[in-house]
Structure 1
Amino acid sequence: MPVPATEADLHAYVDGQLPQARRVEIEAFLSGHPDERQRVENWRSQRRALQRALQPIWEESIPLRLAIPPAARGQPWRRLAAGVAIAAIGASAGWFARGAASARPAVLVTSSAPSSLPIAPAGDTFYQRAAIAHLVYAPDARRPVEIGADQEQALATWLSKRLGAAVKPPKLGMVGYELVGGRLLPGGAGPVAQFMYAAAAGQRLTLYVTREAAGKKTAFQFTRDGPVNVFYWVDEHFGYALSGAADRAELLRVSEEVYKQLE
């Protein structure tokens, strides 16, 4: 009997990375599972949308503020952008199968006010990955998150275990956003967490939490990556990026509330 279709199989099918024999099996599986076929078609639509959104980046020269580190010189900017996009779309399932990191608690922010922190160093790119992840998952109507808000404690426990430090979604009801849920994503050098929130009108924001930028304290920084606005900052233990289509003032308002709660 054929091996049952897994999430990784479906992603590989969309990316055209399956051997022909396995592709035939997946197509047979999809023909009998219309819900899964719809998911696959949604992923294809997201991939096409992401390719269109990243086309200007593909064609432009590298910005001076994103100077390539010495180890990466000689690699065109468009390869970096394409690699990040592919990772955001298709590689998240790989982290679900990896061994769990040893958990240990951590203080998520300092007691200092955001304005007292030094300016962010040039070259940080976790906020770019946050913007791409928002672009991929926020429009998804059927499965925007891996674990829903109805299992919030299980979500926090799972993500804390995978990141190796205590992490939990802030409560944003007082600023007009309710938790939708969250998921684990692949970062540049390890797993990262994404929490998703929605306003009553349907507008979604995502909070990206990574340990890759730890140790480089920064003030709030604002950037725009294609159609996505991002506020990001770093404390001793985590980098945070709040992404959405909301304007700068709205993202700052929500970012300040997130900062106050992550203690």
Structure 2
Amino acid sequence: MDTEPNAPVTEAELHAWMDGELPEERRGEVERHLAGDPDLARRFDRYRAQRAMLQGTFGPLIDRPLPAALVPPYGRAPGRPAVRPRRWLPARVVWCAAFVADAVAAHRVFAVEVRHPVEVGADQEAHLVGWLSKRLGKPLQAPRLADKGYDLVGGRLLSDARGPAAQLMYQDAAGRRITLYIRPASDAPDTSFRFAQDGNVQAFYWRDNGLAWAVTGDLDRVTLSAIAEEVYGALNS
């Protein structure tokens, strides 16, 4: 094998580990790196969360074989059978899965916070919206959700692999929280609602007017869908 025993772990090796395709002699070394490098371990956990989200939300597409027109003519010796094509996913599906995984992860981290759930509170809503709009490069608003029993708590600036993102948090009288996760999506067309679930957390997400939105919460699907529709209506009124 060409990889040195103590060589840094590559992104390809992390994904190969999850696919069960990492050679055994390298697998142990990668696992030692994961145990000793918290940043690498967090990145690996994020990839696993995205993989689980992909499997749960886009399972039929994941199992679809690579189209014949895209199978390369190389990689096998004459007279030998072709290697079974790797499974594939359209780029838009990967993008959606990464986005909603980030939204769910951010919800899990901050929705349980007691003292610091947001960076800027609802008492500074104008400042919050202006600040986030400037950082995302798109005009934002904080939808009114009082008709659904939720009031704005505040929001914060986040970041992911594609750049800045924003989170707005809402809470009802019982203390239940939902979050809106927003990031620029100027390079992608508008979409209808899509649904994803990871454990007890559910999300409806879509793209509209150059932004990707996800409404996330530990609520039943019908209730969360009604809230997502309220958000969409407020943004397009």
Alignment of 1:122 onto 2:93: yes
**Long gaps (5+) in structure 1:** 1-46, 68-119
Choose which of 163, 177, 183 in structure 1 pairs with 2:150: 177
Code of the aligned partner of 2:93: A
Give the structure-1-normalised TM-score.
0.55
Q: Number of aligned pairs?
A: 159
Name the residue aligned to 1:238: 211
Instruction: Give the Cα separation in 1 of the matches to 2:162 and 2:185.
Output: 7
Q: Does 2:138 correspond to 1:165?
A: yes
- Tell me whether 1:142 sits opposite 2:134 in the alignment: no
Shift of 1:255: 0.4
The higher radius of gyration belongs to 2
1:63 corresponds to which of 46, 55, 59 = 55
Distance (whole Å) between structure 1 residues aligned to residue 170 and residue 205 of structure 2: 16
Matched, 1:217 2:194: no
TM-score (norm 2): 0.61
- The higher relative CO (CA closer than 8 Å, separation ≥ 6) is in 1
Decide which of 206, 225, 237 is 2:179's aligned counterpart. 206
Q: Aligned to 2:231, what secondary structure does the other structure show?
A: helix
| Cα distance, 1:214 vs structure 2 | 4.7
Q: Secondary structure at the match of 2:167?
A: strand
1:257 matched to 2:235? The reply is: no
Shift of 1:188: 2.1
Structure 2: which 5+ residue stretches go unaligned? 1-37, 63-90
Alpha-carbon separation, structure 1, partners of 2:103 and 2:215? 8
Q: Is residue 214–residue 234 contact of structure 1 (8 Å, CA) maintained in 2?
A: no
Equivalent pair of 2:180/2:214 in contact (CA under 8 Å): yes
Q: Write out per-residue CA displacement over residues 207-238 of structure 1, whole angstroms, 9 at most, x where no aligned residue.
A: 00111465222111111023310010112401
Q: CA deviation at 1:121?
A: 4.5
Cα pair 1:177 1:200 within 8 Å, conserved:
yes
Checking the alignment, whether the CA contact within 8 Å between 1:160 and 1:167 is kept in structure 2 is: yes
Cα shift at 1:174: 1.0
